[in-house]
Structure 1
């Protein structure tokens, strides 16, 4: 099973500063990521830029609104994500607990991803034409 893990740090203000981790933190996390990739448990991982560089797109009763960051009301900020491979939700939770030793205070939201079944989903990714996307 694949799971999406969203890391939300406890210190939102620090996360919103957008600075990179220290060289020592990068080395420590880099070794952990390399080990997890080699084992097959970690499929992908990325850090997220601060909300001031982002946008929210909302559809409400047919009306689309776009709000540029920063998002002042944000009490939880996603600072990074990972897609992991695990045999169960319990195994994914153990992996998140292990990750938190490197990431620090905060939380990881774990969401199982739907698995593609042949014939159910298109094989091509999203396309964009005339200002409209085809997800």
Structure 2
């Protein structure tokens, strides 16, 4: 099963990366954790995202498109980074996340979401 693991943004992460002793230590810890994921064959992809101030949103309404520039409000609803993992089940994904060092300098949240696989969609559509 593939899962997307989201590191939720914080007010601090929305300020952009600021090199401090704490942030450097966090990056070193995350690097070691990522190495474990790679060695275990779990990690398929991973990256950190720049703050929402560097982003854009495109809203759809029928054939109309509206583009908005960042930054976006409610940092806790934004994503600061992600992993794409291949795990046997959600329990394994949770166990990996529980081993993860704190991905932010302060309090943080990680969300795990399973991806649809082709067979999931085909089961609902039928032959």
TM-score when scaled to structure 1?
Answer: 0.75
Structure number with greater CO (CA < 8 Å, separation at least 6) is 2
Higher helix share: 2
For residue 125 of structure 1, what is the aligned residue in structure 2? none
Residue-pair matches, total: 115
Match of 1:112 among 74, 93, 114: 114
Alignment CA distance shift 1:90-1:27 (3 Å): same
For residue 12 of structure 2, what is the aligned residue in structure 1? 14
Alignment CA distance shift 1:44-1:20 (3 Å): farther
Q: Distance in 1 between matches of 2:83 and 2:13?
A: 17
- Structure 2 gaps, min length 5: 123-127
TM-score when scaled to structure 2?
Answer: 0.79
- Taking only aligned residues, the RMSD between alpha carbons, in angstroms, comes to 2.0
1:43 aligns with 2:47: no
